[in-house]
Amino acid sequence: MKRMNRRDFLKRSLGTLAGVALGTGLDLPEAFAQRRPVKQGPIKIGGQAILSGPLGGYGNFMKMGAQLAVEEINTKGGIAGSQTEIEFRDEELKPDVAVKNARYFVDNWGADFLIGCDASSVGLAVGQVMPELNKVLIITHAATEKINEDLVYKKGIKQVFRISVPVYQDGIAAAIIAKDFPVKRWAAISPDYEYGYTTWKMFRETLKKFRPDVEFIAEAWAKFGTVDFGPHIGAVMPKEPEGIFTTEWGGEAITLIKQAKLFGVFDKAKAWMNPMGAAMDVLEGLGAEYPLGLWISCRYWFLYPDTRENRAFVQRFQKRWNRYPHYVSETGYSAVYAIKTAVEKAGTLETSEVIKALEGLSLDTPAGKRVFRREDHQAIYEVPWGQTAEDKKYPFRILRPLKVIPANDYYRQPPFA
Amino acid sequence: MVETLIFQGLIGLSLAMYIWLVAAGLTLVFGVLGVLNFAHGSLYMLGAYLTETCTALLGGNFWLGLLLATIIVAVLGVGLECFFFRPMYRLPLAYQLLMTFAFVLIFDDLVKMVWGPVYRVPPTPKGLEGSLSILGRAFPVYNVFIIGLGPLVALLLWLILEKTSWGKMIRASASSREMASAIGINIKMLFTTVFAFGAWLAALGGGLSIPIRAVSPGMGTFIIIEAFVVVVIGGLGSLKGAFIGAVLIGLLEAYGTLFLPVFEMFFIFFLMAVVLIVQPGGLFGTQVSHEEA
């Protein structure tokens, strides 16, 4: 810790007083405190996300969130007195490309922090090189539990944090919701890669604990980039499932819903669950074509929590980008603020100090209070599940009623057996 | 069980017809011009986006929108052939592939700039909405329409190639470019029109897909891979091969998903491998030999 001289102390006290007088301790211009910047020149954040192809929207939306945060921070004096710069590269959903990006950012561009990673495989690959690059990486989307359970907790890679919910939301929380449904026969139509398998397994295992009477009668796996779910619907429906669980996302979630409607799935099945169904791209894409009463969730939904902070964020986001924030916009935004908070707490850019500052850090974000769990660096926060409902104020479905399960009831806890 | 088999077969056929529409243009252009056009999927994507936009501009008339959109893409095809592909015929194949791949990236970004990075779900055209009951299960009316349309397009292509003088010129120049030009066929003109026609077919496939599939940037990437597999199995340059290849792949995907959900892709590539080993030119491929200049 730096020793404070009397003048510094006075200034800080004055600053705090002024802050209290203004009714907020936040948003105080840094210049007020006149601390020495932690870095000569700008603090650099290297972001990567999927920016091309059918899922390219995700990268764009994340970029919007992160950029908004950087702009806000810079107009208010930067991070600990230093201006902040952010640059994005396309991860292409390919681990090798992503590792190259990470190396470029740290070795050539001079990044102080890394954020992003959409694909789970990308998050794992970049995570594995972080001890060598020795910068803090905040993952904003990649959801595999292997990141917090294996990389951070078991292998002890301390440089990796994750601000977005892991697959616990998709599989375990879904099952806790589904246990109250009058549904005994479940089927899955899900992605033919790890995310699809893991979430279905978590869903089945959790649900079976609460409801020994349920059966899992059919599954159909759709390869990445499926444009026609006819074969999958055709394979599952003859088994007469009462509930359908799917973790299709993006354009595939939209296509699946559209085709499921035409194949009469919603007339036959009583329940439909999609943990990615409340993502803004799916809500907006389907608009009024989204059937009512489906159970959906995501990793942040713009109307939850109903707090002043969240409403203000949505408003600022709309003003800047002329659209509602996607969940990756919020996680990108909050990742940048997490960096700011940690650096200012640590008073240095030294990686080990920033890690210490982030561990256990409690952060007020648009998505609500987030705490980075010390053991596995996973941000703990709550995201609601809800049913698709109509609301005249929006040209798309909203979630109503909401069902919020306390994070500690469904996040797996260390030591992960 | 029999019902399930028949129903799954219908699903496979509808799948096949979507692939066929894309594969037809791809194989036609290859057969005549000798160009393997990766950007064919991009033309499919442009067809989808333009159909949506033109439909909206024309007051919601899907068929007029589709017609206008496919014509725009065909005209674009004329431009592409004249200014970009023509100088490439003399160069090694790798240059062509690089260039068509560059167009994939350019069109993807262009679409994102014009229409935004979001998914779009256009409505189904009037009269083809909803589903009808087949064997006691709901089947999309639109898929019935596509299953009927696919063979019609095949018939139309056959008539054009067999019965029109343009078709005769195409066949002549496909079998020998030099001979065709020696007997007075305007090869330049022919190439341009064939490429434009291929682009029109791609746009038709894209436009016809939007009532049932999400429209998104990069949507051509996945479809082009399937179309390539079909064209390789059927024999590069063979329309008959592309049609039968599409039906095979469509049915394999449908039944594969039913019986071996995790391995359905295996069958498709296994089929391709077997065909290539037993009949390297594809099922209906004459051993394609193009006299590359």
pLDDT tens per residue across span A133-164: 999 999 999 999 999 999 999 999 999 999 99
Whether B253 shows a pLDDT value over 60: the answer reads yes
Q: For strand A368-372 and strand A379-380, is the pairing parallel, antiparallel, or unpaired?
A: antiparallel
Q: Does residue A306 sit at the B interface (CB-CB below 8 Å)?
A: no
% of chain B surpassing 70 pLDDT: 97
Q: Does residue B18 sit at the A interface (CB-CB below 8 Å)?
A: yes
Q: Compute the average pLDDT of residues A359-388.
A: 97
Query: B153 lies in a domain?
Result: yes
**A70-99 pLDDT, tens digit each:** 999 999 999 999 999 999 999 999 999 999
Contact between B230 and A265 under an 8 Å Cβ cutoff? The reply is no
Structure tokens at A370: 């987030």
Query: B255 lies in a domain?
Result: no
Whether A199 shows a pLDDT value over 90: the answer reads yes
d(CA A224, CA A195): 11
% of chain A surpassing 90 pLDDT: 86
Structural domains counted in chain B: 1
Query: Under CATH, which architecture does the A36-165+306-380 domain have?
Result: 3-Layer(aba) Sandwich (3.40)
**B255-286 pLDDT, tens digit each:** 988 888 777 778 888 888 898 888 888 888 76
Whether B227 shows a pLDDT value over 90: the answer reads yes
Q: How many residues does chain B have?
A: 293
Integer-rounded Cα Rg, in Å, for chain A is 22
Query: B149 lies in a domain?
Result: yes
d(CA B175, CA B34): 11
* CB nearest to A228's CB, from B18, B108, B119: B18
Interface of B with A in 161-220 (CB under 8 A): 209, 212-214, 216-219
The conformational region for residue B227 under phi > 0 = left, psi -120 to 50 = alpha, else beta, is: alpha
Contacts of A115 (CB under 8 A, 6+ apart): A45, A46, A47, A66, A137, A138, A139, A140, A332, A335, A336, A339
Q: Does residue A60 sit at the B interface (CB-CB below 8 Å)?
A: yes
Instruction: Quote the ipTM score.
Output: 0.89
The boundaries of the domain holding residue B177 are 25-219
Q: Does residue A90 sit at the B interface (CB-CB below 8 Å)?
A: no
In chain A, which residues have their Cβ closer than 8 Å to the Cβ of B219? 54, 227, 251
- Residue spans in chain A of domains classed CATH 3.40.50.2300: 36-165+306-380, 168-298+384-410
**A12-50 pLDDT, tens digit each:** 544 444 444 444 444 444 444 445 678 889 999 999 999
* CB nearest to A287's CB, from B121, B131, B258: B121
Which amino acid, residue B1?
M
- pLDDT for the residue numbered B286: 65
A168-298+384-410 carries CATH number 3.50.50.60: no
Which amino acid, residue B196?
A
Query: B68 lies in a domain?
Result: yes
- Least Cα distance to A273 among A242, A250, A236, A304 occurs for A242
Query: B124 lies in a domain?
Result: yes
Residue A362, beta-bridge partner list: A371
pTM of the predicted model as reported, rounded to 2 decimal places: 0.89
Helices (H), A246-290: 250-262, 265-268, 280-286
Residue of A nearest to B209 (CA): A227
Residue of B nearest to A235 (CA): B258
Which amino acid, residue A202?
M
Query: B191 lies in a domain?
Result: yes
With CB atoms and an 8 Å threshold, state whether A237 touches B254: no
The residue of B8, B14, B118 whose CB has the most chain A CBs within 10 angstroms, and thus the best one to mutate to test that interface, is: B118
d(CA A64, CA A140): 13
